[in-house]
Amino acid sequence: MRLDPEPLPRRDWLGLASLWSAASALAFGFIGAMRLPKAAVVAAPSKALKLTLPESLPAGEAFVPPGRAMAVFRDGEGVYAISTICTHLGCVVKPNAEGFECPCHGSRFDHAGGVVKGPAPRALPWLQVRLANGEVHIDEGKTVPSGTKAKQA
């Protein structure tokens, strides 16, 4: 009595070819499908903004444009903007008397955005500022070396 009487032909080329082609078709489809969740466009407004600084803004005092994570300063050397997004994990830091402090994990930054304390790995980036017709043009997407201040042309 045989209980294992019908072994497959040893080389089932057709079976293997069909299985592999099915597997590759499905894998190809899977790879294609996995491209879907990565959005091709991000629905975010332009990172550039225009604003007018209040005349009365004291030198070195932060001006925070509504809805933007940045602090704009004016002093004798010019106008500059510092991003207020913590370089640690992205909380918004608050300007205070010593510079900036992060409410999430206690990072502290000095007036120029340099790290003083806490887990933040890098200084707060300075943003590109241009002055034109009395307006301040800031581009959140472009950073400049710390200390770059824009002067009226």
Partner 1 sequence: MAEALNAMKKNKILLLVSSIGVFVLLAAAAIDENFLKQWRRIQASGSHDGEPIPVQLRQVVNMGLRTADRCVSCHVSMGPGEDGVTGNALFKKHPPVVHDPAQYGCTVCHGGQGLATEKDDAHGTVHFWPEPMIPAAVAEAGCGTCHAAPGVPSRDTLRQARATFERLDCGACHRVDGRGGTIRPDGGGMEGPDLSRVGITGYDAGWHGKHVAKAAAADKGPWKTSFAPVPEADQGAVAMYLAVRNSAPRLTEAKSVFLSYGCLGCHRLSGVGGDEGPDLTRAGERDPGQTDFTHVPEQQGLDNWIAEHFRSPGAVMTGSKMPAVAAPESDIQQLTMFVLSLRRRELPGAYMPKDRIAVARMGQREFAPDGATIYGAFCAGCHGLNGLGRTSGDETFPAIANPEFQKLVTDRFLTETIARGRPGRRMPGWKKEGGLRPEEIRVVVEHLRALAGVTGRTEEDAWKANGSTAEGRKLYAAACAGCHGDKGQGAKGPSLGTRAFLEVATEGYLRDTITKGRPGTVMPAFGEPSTVHRTLTPGDVESIVTFINLWKGK
Partner 2 sequence: MSPSTEQRPPLAEFWDNLRAAPRRILDTAFRGGSPSTDRTRSTFVFGNVFLHLHSARVHRWTLRWTATAGLGIATTAAFLITLVTGVLLMFYYKPYPDVAYQSIKDIHFVVPTGRFMRNIHRWAANVMVVTVILHMARAFYTAAYRKPREFNWVIGMGLLAVTLGLSFTGYLLPWDQLAYWAITIGANIAQSPREVTDALEITEWFDPGGFQRALLLGSEVVGEEALIRFYLLHVMILPLVLVGLMSIHFWRIRKDGGLARPVDADQRLEPEPGVYPVFTQAPEKTYQLAAVVEGRTPAVGRGPENTVPSMPHLFYAELGVLMLTTLICVALSIVSDAPLKELANPSVPENPAKAPWYFLGLQELVAFSAFMGGIGIPTIVLAGLGLIPYLDRESEGTGLWFGGPGGWPLVKRALVVGFGASILVEAFVIRYGWIREWFPSVGQLVVTVLNPGTLLTLIYGAYSVWLVKRYRSTRAGALGLFTCFLCGFLVLTVVGTYFRGPNWDFYWSPSQWPRH
The token pair that represents 21 in the structure block: 């082609």
Which entry of partner 1, partner 2, none binds 48, CB below 5 to 8 A by partner kind? partner 1
CB of 24 to partner 2, least distance (A): 11
Distance (Å, whole) CA 77 – CA 51: 19
CA angle 101/104/107 to nearest 5° reads 40
Provide, rounded to whole angstroms, the least separation between the CB of residue 45 and partner 1. Answer: 5
CA 149 to CA 74: how far, in whole Å?
A: 9
With binding defined as CB under 8 A, does residue 34 bind partner 1? no
Site for partner 2 in 39-78 (CB under 8 A): 39-41
Q: Which of 6, 67, 121, 152 binds partner 2 (CB under 8 A)?
A: 6
The number of residues that bind partner 1 (CB under 8 A) is 23
Q: Does 46 bind partner 1 (CB under 8 A)?
A: yes
> What is the helix (H) or strand (E) element at residue 49, kind and residue range?
strand 48-51
